[in-house]
Structures are given as C-alpha cells and as structure tokens.
Amino acid sequence: MAWSDLKKPYVCLAPMDGITNTAFRQIVRKVSKRVILFSEFTNVDGLIRSEYVRQRLNYHPSEHPFFMQIFGSNPDSFAEAACMIEDRGVMGIDINMGCPAKKVVHSQHGSALMKDVDQACRIVESVRKSCSLQVSVKTRLGWNNSDNLIPFCRRLESAGVSLLTIHGRTYKQGFKGDANWDAIYDLKNNVNIPVLGNGDVEDYYDGCQHMNNLDGFMIGRRAIGNPWVFQDCQKYPQPDLSTRITVALEHYDLLRMIKPEHIALKEFRKYLGGYIQGFAHAKAFRCQLIEASDEKSFIHLLEEMKMKVNDFHFSQAS
C-alpha cells in the first residue's frame, strides 16, 4: 500500500513505548477504521538477538495500514531487522530519530541521530537497500532549535525516506512548552514527500485545525485510553460510559493475550484515566480499580461500574 492509496488527512496513532502494543492498536482500529497505526519503538539489536523481543513484531491483520517503529544506530542491524519486519507484511518501517530518553541518546540512538546526519542517512539507505518497504522517519524540530530541520530532512529525503513526522519540540525541550507547528509548515514547503505534524493535538477536529499545508497528523497522549479521539466528533457522538467500559474490558482481554495477569493489571492502569475521564466519580473509581488486587476483582469492579452507569452523569469537571 502506498501513501497515495490513503485518504488525506493522514490520521495516525503516534508510536508510544509501553502503550501502542498490538492490544491497544487493535482497539484503536476497532473504533476508528481509517487511522494509520504506528507501533511502539523496538531496538534493532534486541530484535536480532532475542526471541522475546521479536514477539513485539506480532500484530493482527486488522491493524493494516500499520508501520513498525524501530530504533538503534548500527546500519547493519537496521538492515537485518528490516528484513525480519518485511517478512511480517507491514506497510512500512518508521525509524525513530526523536526519542530524547537519556539511555537512548547516550547510545547514539533516537534524537542523537539529528546531530549525526551522515549516520542517519546511512541507516535510511541501509533499510532501503535491504527491503522493499516504505521507510519513514519520526523526528523532532532539532537539538536546541529548528535551524537545521530543513537541511536534515532534505538529506533524509535524498536517502530514500518517503514520509516524515515531526514532533514540534526540540530535544532540549523534552515535553516542555507548546509544540511549534510553524517550523513544520515551513519544512513542508521545502521537501517533496508527505509530512505529518505532531504535538499537543487534542482530537481529530483539532488535528484538522492544525493541518495548514501538511499531509496529516499524529495523536499520542490524548489517545491513551481514548481510541475515539480519532473520530470526527461532528459525525460520531462521544461514547457513553457504558460503551467506554465495554471497550476497556475488550482492551484488557487483548492485553491479557500478550501479558501475564500481574503485568497486564499494572500496565492497564495507564489507560484507565483515559477510559473513564470526564465522568462523575472518575477519580474515586480509578483509585478503586488501581487497588484491585487481582484480575477477578478488577473485572468485577468494571462490570459493576457499567451496571451502575445510570447513576453516573457526564461531567466535564471531574
């Protein structure tokens, strides 16, 4: 599948480590048919060495169109990992050149590649040579500022990248301050490939408001426990609490297919706030759910909450 086969704006689930695993991606797909899904990042050397890490390549056919995101610094490892990924039949490979985590940057991965343009291009070329998949790059505005964004991305385009996603913050900013989209619009005027904007998008409508000359947008944090965020709220009504709990329970079941009980229970906490956000008593319920000592009581609490749904009124304030 090529970008030209997809309808614009390209609406994408942003890659998020510990969040966008196959369970959550399947839930996003169930709710929003047109979203392009991106996996959480996976280290290329891990993929080569470890059968356990390779399990992260598993996905459900419903997830198409789907990009697998990888990170690392060795072009040969990227080539080997790319072959493995191609065998899985995904739409493309996304290379992370924006992660600011200390451990990642110290290993010359992620954001560090913005400072080593030659190495970044060698990686892209290596992936392009080793497989026939589309290659995209997700990066940030730059290290301290956006001065180098256009030359960096032009080099990536020449190396064979067919899509760019820009998180509108610098490495130094981390997640601080507001995302700056003006630099992304400027970039789009200077490359010939699709560009997606990313950073602080609230929902589909807000993403469309940010589009300007871009080809699409990614939504990250606002999608956690809220797979409806990709729907056009003018066409689809917001789900009621009962629907949200039903989907949360399905999500938990899917998570259990890939994680043991104690891990799934712990990891699901990250999504809970999103699923029940905006409803009266949400905070108190979340606390109860977090304290559930085992799966049985956790599911029971959610089901009980669903039964009592008429007692809860939608309240933006809670």
Ligand X SMILES: Cc1cc2nc3c(=O)[nH]c(=O)nc-3n(C[C@H](O)[C@H](O)[C@H](O)COP(=O)(O)O)c2cc1C
For position 227 contacting ligand X by CB under 6 A, the verdict is no
Query: Which of 12/282 has CB closer to ligand X?
Result: 12
- Taking CB under 6 A as the criterion, the residue among 23, 57, 201, 272 binding ligand X is 201
User: Could you tell me the CA-to-CA distances from 278 to 236, 242, 317 in Å, in that order?
Assistant: 18, 13, 7
Query: Which of 162/242 has CB closer to ligand X?
Result: 162
Q: Which residues contact 49 (CB under 8 A, 6 or more apart)?
A: none
Under a CB-based contact definition with an 8 Å cutoff, are residues 40 and 19 in contact?
A: yes
Residues in the chain: 318
CA pair distance 244, 274, nearest whole angstrom: 9
Name the minimum Å distance from CB 99 to ligand X: 6
For position 225 contacting ligand X by CB under 6 A, the verdict is no
Name the minimum Å distance from CB 152 to ligand X: 16
Name the minimum Å distance from CB 32 to ligand X: 15
Name the minimum Å distance from CB 173 to ligand X: 11
- Taking CB under 6 A as the criterion, the residue among 3, 22, 29, 40 binding ligand X is 40
Site string for ligand X, 49-78 (x = CB under 6 A): --------------------x---------
Q: At what angle do helices 295-307 and 241-258 cross, to 10 degrees?
A: 160
For position 200 contacting ligand X by CB under 6 A, the verdict is yes
The residue at minimum Cβ distance from ligand X is: 220
Return the range that interacts with ligand X (CB under 6 A); candidates 145-153, 216-224, 256-264, 301-309: 216-224
Q: How many residues interact with ligand X (rule CB under 6 A)?
A: 22
Name the minimum Å distance from CB 309 to ligand X: 29
Return the range that interacts with ligand X (CB under 6 A); candidates 58-66, 96-104, 141-149, 180-188: 96-104
Is cis: bond before 65, omega within 30 of 0? Answer: yes
- Taking CB under 6 A as the criterion, the residue among 6, 17, 150, 273 binding ligand X is 17
User: Is 131 one of the catalytic residues?
Assistant: no
Return the range that interacts with ligand X (CB under 6 A); candidates 91-99, 240-248, 257-265, 294-302: 91-99
CA pair distance 202, 214, nearest whole angstrom: 17
CA pair distance 280, 246, nearest whole angstrom: 18
Name the minimum Å distance from CB 49 to ligand X: 19
For position 198 contacting ligand X by CB under 6 A, the verdict is yes
CA pair distance 203, 222, nearest whole angstrom: 7
Query: What tokens does 204 get?
Result: 């589909």
Which 241-260 positions form the footprint of ligand X (CB under 6 A)?
none
CA pair distance 187, 181, nearest whole angstrom: 10
Site string for ligand X, 121-160 (x = CB under 6 A): -----------------x----------------------
Under a CB-based contact definition with an 8 Å cutoff, are residues 241 and 234 in contact?
A: no
Q: Which residues contact 12 (CB under 8 A, 6 or more apart)?
A: 35, 36, 37, 38, 165, 196, 216, 217, 218, 219
Under a CB-based contact definition with an 8 Å cutoff, are residues 39 and 238 in contact?
A: no
- Taking CB under 6 A as the criterion, the residue among 19, 85, 104, 276 binding ligand X is 19
Query: What tokens does 289 get?
Result: 């759910």
Under a CB-based contact definition with an 8 Å cutoff, are residues 44 and 81 in contact?
A: yes
CA pair distance 270, 266, nearest whole angstrom: 8
Q: Which residues are tagged catalytic?
A: 99
Residues that bind ligand X (CB under 6 A): 14-19, 40-41, 69, 96, 98-99, 138, 167, 198-201, 219-222
